[in-house]
Amino acid sequence: MKVNLKVWRQKNNNAAGKLVEYGLDNISPDMSFLEMIDVLNGELTRKGDEPIVFDHDCREGICGMCSMYIDGRAHGPQTGATTCQLHMRSFNDGDTIVVEPWRARAFPVIKDLMVDRTAFDRIVQAGGYVSVNTGSAPDANEITIPRTIADEAMDAAQCIGCGACVAACKNASAMLFVAAKVSHMAVLPQGQAERSIRAERMVAQMDAEGFGACSFTGACSVECPKSISLDHIARMNREYLGAKLTSENV
Amino acid sequence: MVTDQQSTMELQSKVPAGPLPEKWSRHKFALKLVNPSNKRKYDIIVVGTGLAGASAAASLAELGYNVKAFCFQDSPRRAHSIAAQGGINAAKNYQNDGDSVFRLFYDTIKGGDYRAREGNVHRLAEVSVNIIDQCVAQGVPFAREYGGLLANRSFGGAQVSRTFYARGQTGQQLLLGAYSALSRQVANGKVKLFPRTEMLDLVVEGGKARGIITRNLVTGKIESHSGHAVLLCTGGYGNVFYLSTNAMGSNVTAAWRAHKHGALMANPCFTQIHPTCIPVKGDYQSKLTLMSESLRNDGRVWVPKSKEDAQKIQKGQMKATDLKEEDRDYFLERRYPSFGNLVPRDVASRNAKYVCDEGRGVSKTGLAVYLDFADAIKRDGKKTIEAKYGNLFEMYYKIVDENPYETPMMIYPAVHYTMGGLWVDYNLMTSIPGLYALGEANFSDHGANRLGASALMQGLADGYFVIPYTVGDYLATIGPADKVSVDSPAFKQAEKRVSDQVQRLLAIKGTKPVDEFHRALGLIMWDYCGMSRTAEGLKKAKGMIQDLKKEFWTNVRVMGDNEEMNQALENAGRVADFIELGELMVDDALNREESCGGHFREEHQTEDGEALRNDEEYAYVAAWEYTGENQPEVLHKEELVFENVKLTQRSYK
């Protein structure tokens, strides 16, 4: 098949960017979207042009590295999938496809389609953990967790930290990402000791990073490659409110 | 590069004496300790933030050491451990089915075809139980039974149910657990993180590892980092085959550059070809996707009995579901009645290759076999199968565009894991004092074949429960003052070597993109140093790799500059190292005149086509020493001593 691409090219964070057009022939519908970009990059290199820079690593939908905004949607037209899981059979012969980086103030562009997502790491550092040193754990079966609770925790914990939720949100809010972590730990017995302080600190860090507020449109959950539910945002709001009402930090 | 020649090197495994179950506890007591208030005087460099790196960095920081942690990804959470699906083994015996530390040890030694150290493997089995405790305490959401206790599943190469799992995303959950512990230490100021930073050289001075040289992947800046010890937790080198289940960025560069400074590379030809991967579709293919081995618990592997039926399927004239039961060959169940579809990975892979070589493979390419869930769905219901494997089926559907609930999956072996790696002693120290290798980067625990759900176990064992003890012994011996400044000539020279190589790559300005060289190397390795090997083929491969190396250094084209994000430049350095490693793998495979585990030499097989070991002559670790550019490497042998298991031919029949 044939496709016409419009790809965001930006030399670095300080430079102005623009959409550049490229045409590609002989694309197999079985190719993944990133393999299609590989083919383009091979052609660009042979012609003496700089290849397109983009984040990618595992190419099986779990590392959370790939991050393309395709035709106005985070990770492209499929739901429940990352960019690397998108295949060219999702497009029609002759389509024009627009590819941009995540757009958010808290995710500055590094180059072309690559953005800086270290804000997410700093949010986790603010409290996304259980304080337990290596070696001090009791026997694993001493902590019993009903299966439904374990499943609920796992539903939240499977967030891959890609940032699609932020990219999809009109406010560039990171609520779904933060909620997934807060919720994962709030439902588990292991997370109870730091439950309040975690919610307070992670939300404070989220605000400090410059992410927008949540207006509960639900775009994040729709575009989330792991389909993480909005329920977790509801739970985080409850956690946060509860934490603030009883907070020792006045 | 400069080498620190040690021509009369003698390999000391440092496995302590004494009865097997007491070795580790005795050793721990014998190790020197660093006083708690002195720990803050030591700096430790950890390269890589996968299970081994993140768990080591977090645990060492908890103890009070100053840690610098490096990864080439944008966040430590993205290391490729995250992609492990099936699970993690531990000898908890929660199922009351006869498991024990000794059985896990025995299964692992046997599964590795008797090419691993008894002492290391027993320690691994011992600490396996602590790993599960640690991960649960961190909040890792393992699968549970309705009563709230932990659930287990069985896995290839074992007859007990000892695998803990979190849906099909066990690696992800374990890594996020280690990442959370690491993040806590970053917040505490005990770990300094360097994401998007690649180690490009090791600094050795006075015979000890002193630090590393890195390139900041965003700015191109070449930087020096000094430490009292350097831990390489950089994963495996499966991407030498280009197509593998590894992440695109997984590479051998850190380990290889340490090798060039004198760290021995052990058993590099021991690579694992995983039987259940999604088959290759076209020459544009960039990576292969693994379908968890746990699928073999319920899926039945088969191909058509006749070549004619197989051809019809390949041409699309017939569907899998059209084939009657009596026309199907469930070849694993037929050949291995007691283990059936759960034979170890190397056996399953080789048998898939055989039936495809006979012309009975399926899919357009003829390079695939079926993994069929029809019987399991009939027996347990679709709901149960969905609960166990739902996300894997979904992943398959996304890639192949076929519904595995209705038509059998197609699978084919792919490179997945490398058992070989940097040689380490019982303390995980390489042949360079102060340089350690953890997790997949070392060679120590899996012999010639790794059992399923053991990689996660080893990565976390090394990081959480081994290195915190052993590194202290070295640090207490050298003392805090024994450190080299980044302003010293050793660092300055190393920085210059790195930037010279970067400039050299940019200056070639040839005609071929880096990927083309990588693909070409991968094909050579897959054809001649893959699932089965011959002396003739290996010799041919060696010549081809040498030619490829010459062409690479005269004709590669790397666009752009150093002082910016330049992914082609990153890849060029990695592929250059893969080419050199490829040649060593071929040498190692040629040297090993036997078949064992993942290393199958066609000249050495039993009458019914099983691997034929040669314990008399090859029960040793082949550790290779770099002696200079284009010079043959020198082989050092560490004889393996078996006091607790009897070497038998592995039988899964």
The rounded distance, in Å, linking the Cα atoms of B128 and B131 is 5
**Do the Cβ atoms of B77 and A64 come within 8 Å?**
yes
Task: Taking residues A58-83, report their average pLDDT.
Answer: 97
The rounded distance, in Å, linking the Cα atoms of A209 and A120 is 9
Task: Taking residues B624-652, report their average pLDDT.
Answer: 94
pLDDT per residue over B162-183, tens digit each?
A: 999 998 899 999 999 999 999 9
The rounded distance, in Å, linking the Cα atoms of B537 and B415 is 19
pLDDT per residue over B148-163, tens digit each?
A: 999 998 887 788 999 9
The pLDDT of residue B156? 73
**Do the Cβ atoms of B282 and A31 come within 8 Å?**
yes
Q: Give me the residues paired with residue B271 across strands.
A: B418
pLDDT exceeds cutoff 50 at B464:
yes
Share of chain A above pLDDT 70, in %: 100
**Do the Cβ atoms of B183 and A158 come within 8 Å?**
no
- Asked if the C-beta of B551 comes within 8 angstroms of chain A's C-beta atoms, the answer is no
- CA-based nearest distance A232→chain B, Å: 16
pLDDT per residue over B46-60, tens digit each?
A: 999 999 999 999 999
pLDDT exceeds cutoff 80 at B7:
no
Instruction: Provide long-range contacts, Cβ within 8 A and 24+ apart, for A12-16.
Output: A12/A110, A12/A111, A12/B564, A12/B565, A13/A108, A13/A109, A13/A110, A13/A111
pTM of the model: 0.96
Q: Is B504 assigned a catalytic role? A: no
CB pairs under 8 A between A and B: 225
- Asked if the C-beta of A25 comes within 8 angstroms of chain B's C-beta atoms, the answer is no
**Do the Cβ atoms of A137 and B130 come within 8 Å?**
yes
pLDDT per residue over B500-516, tens digit each?
A: 999 999 999 999 999 99
Residues 210-249 of chain A whose Cβ lies under 8 A from any Cβ of chain B:
none
Q: Least CB-CB distance to B180: which of A46, A129, A143?
A: A129
Give B429's Cβ-side CA count (13 Å radius): 21
Residues 379-398 of chain B whose Cβ lies under 8 A from any Cβ of chain A:
394-395, 398
pLDDT exceeds cutoff 60 at B4:
no
pLDDT band for B8, please (50, 70, 90 cuts): low
pLDDT per residue over A22-42, tens digit each?
A: 999 999 999 999 999 999 999
**Do the Cβ atoms of A137 and B515 come within 8 Å?**
no
**Do the Cβ atoms of A140 and B516 come within 8 Å?**
no
Higher-confidence residue: B393 or B649? B393
Query: Choosing from B167, B210, B296, B345, which is the catalytic residue?
Result: B345
pLDDT per residue over A96-148, tens digit each?
A: 999 999 999 999 999 999 999 999 999 999 999 999 999 999 999 999 999 99
pLDDT exceeds cutoff 90 at B471:
yes
The pLDDT of residue A250? 62
pLDDT per residue over B440-455, tens digit each?
A: 999 999 999 999 899 9
pLDDT exceeds cutoff 90 at B90:
yes
Tell whether the torsion through CA atoms of A233, B73, A130 and B178 is positive or negative.
Answer: positive
The rounded distance, in Å, linking the Cα atoms of B324 and B640 is 49
pLDDT per residue over B248-266, tens digit each?
A: 999 999 999 999 999 999 9
Q: Mean pLDDT across chain B, nearest whole number? A: 95
pLDDT band for B5, please (50, 70, 90 cuts): very low
Give A197's Cβ-side CA count (13 Å radius): 12
A111-to-A104, A192, B35 alpha-carbon distances in Å:
14, 41, 46
CB atoms within 10 A of CB B28: 16
Q: Least CB-CB distance to A35: which of B286, B394, B511?
A: B286
- Asked if the C-beta of A132 comes within 8 angstroms of chain B's C-beta atoms, the answer is yes
- Closest by Cα among B207, B190, B183, B206 to B76: B183
Residue with the two structure tokens 């609930």 = B405
DSSP 8-state secondary structure symbol assigned to residue B599: B
The pLDDT of residue B158? 84
Task: Taking residues B239-256, report their average pLDDT.
Answer: 98
Residue A165, phi then psi, degrees to nearest 5: -60, -40
The pLDDT of residue B155? 81
Task: Taking residues B428-449, report their average pLDDT.
Answer: 97
- Asked if the C-beta of A76 comes within 8 angstroms of chain B's C-beta atoms, the answer is no
- CA-based nearest distance B539→chain A, Å: 31
Residue B33, phi then psi, degrees to nearest 5: -110, 155
List CB contacts (< 8 A) between B281 and chain A.
28, 30
- CA-based nearest distance A1→chain B, Å: 14
- Closest by Cα among B5, B650, B24 to B339: B650
pLDDT exceeds cutoff 50 at B615:
yes
- The bridge status of strand B66-70 relative to strand B88-89 is unpaired
**Do the Cβ atoms of B184 and A160 come within 8 Å?**
no
- Asked if the C-beta of A204 comes within 8 angstroms of chain B's C-beta atoms, the answer is no
DSSP secondary structure string for all residues of B48-66: --SHHHHHHHHHHHHHT-E
pLDDT band for B293, please (50, 70, 90 cuts): confident
The pLDDT of residue B1? 40
Best B60, B96, B183 residue to mutate vs chain A (most A CBs within 10 Å):
B183
Q: Least CB-CB distance to B150: which of A38, A125, A141?
A: A141
